[in-house]
């Protein structure tokens, strides 16, 4: 069994109280590394920062240092150029999608950039899908777990549904072409949820920085009273099981 942890929507912004939520989640992960309960990979599924500044990315890089193999994605609050200035200083095209892959023993993890510079909604470009196609072909016959920031399906949160993926039809066709894809994992909505898209599970992680309310939970969109959260994705052969945890 492989264990993939996921944290999302950290929104680094320089204040101590906010960073304490992030550090508590990271400490929870670090305490569970090593031995027979090792965490094989960590997905950070976007909105690393609140305003996409270089200082916020420096804070994120310093705080997120861990021994766990990590794939980091960008969200609508992020900035590709500022992110690369800190994390990929040798990048030639600083405006290109930030896509990455990690091949484990028995699992391919793909992190696809769904951010659109200057917008809150998202889309996965044909460039990114072509890159992902190549990664799957080269990995051979292994299960694939795909991560991105914006959910491709409606989640029952009117505001967040209005800034989801614009047109996920190309993504849907891509997923249906590849039966080895066992699931999609996202962030963006600051709420744990499970649905279906293109015949596979789609899971959203809790928010680290805050929780967003469902329509019947109150008039305010943001709920700061909820603790930070994370997801653990367990992969056995071609089966995905997800557990959620709250961290105070």
Q: What is the pLDDT of residues 147-197, one digit of tens each?
A: 999 999 999 999 999 999 999 999 999 999 999 999 999 999 999 999 999
* Mean pLDDT per 10-residue section of the chain, whose length is 248 residues: 96 88 92 72 96 96 91 97 91 88 96 97 97 96 97 95 96 97 98 97 96 90 91 93 94
CB hemisphere CA count around 156 (13 angstroms):
11
pLDDT of amino acid 11 = 95
Which CATH superfamily, name and number, covers 2-247? Metallo-dependent phosphatases (3.60.21.10)
CA separation, residue 183 to residues 17, 57, 78, 145, 187 (Å): 34, 29, 24, 5, 14
Q: How far apart are CA 214 and CA 229, in angstroms?
A: 16
């794939």: which residue's tokens? 71
pLDDT for the residue numbered 36: 52
Cα distance between residue 46 and residue 56, in whole Å: 13
| E-assigned strand segments in 76-164 | 100-104, 107-111, 144-147
C-alpha of 243 from chain center: 15
Give the global pTM.
Answer: 0.95
């Amino acid at each position: 069994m492989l264990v993939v942890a996921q944290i999302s929507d950290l929104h680094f912004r320089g204040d101590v109280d906010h960073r304490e939520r992030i550090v508590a989640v990271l400490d929870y992960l670090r305490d569970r590394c090593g031995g027979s309960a090792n965490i094989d990979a960590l997905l950070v599924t976007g909105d690393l920062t609140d305003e996409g500044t270089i200082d916020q990315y420096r804070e994120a890089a310093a705080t997120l240092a861990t021994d766990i193999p990590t794939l980091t994605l960008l969200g609508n609050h992020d900035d590709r150029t500022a992110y690369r200035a800190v994390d990929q200083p040798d990048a030639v095209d600083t405006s290109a999608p930030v896509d990455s892959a990690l091949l484990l023993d028995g699992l391919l993890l793909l992190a696809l950039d769904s951010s659109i510079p200057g917008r809150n909604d998202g889309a996965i470009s044909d460039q990114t899908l072509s890159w992902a196609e190549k990664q799957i072909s080269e990995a051979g016959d292994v299960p694939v777990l795909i991560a991105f920031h914006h959910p491709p399906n409606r989640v029952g949160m009117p505001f967040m549904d209005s800034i989801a993926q614009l047109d996920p039809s190309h993504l849907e066709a891509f997923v249906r072409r590849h039966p080895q894809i066992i699931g999609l994992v996202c962030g963006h909505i600051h709420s744990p949820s499970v649905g279906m898209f293109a015949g596979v599970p789609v899971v959203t992680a809790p928010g680290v920085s805050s929780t967003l309310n469902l329509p019947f939970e109150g008039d305010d969109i943001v709920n700061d009273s909820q603790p930070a959260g994370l997801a653990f994705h367990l992969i056995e052969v071609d089966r995905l099981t997800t557990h959620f945890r709250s961290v105070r």
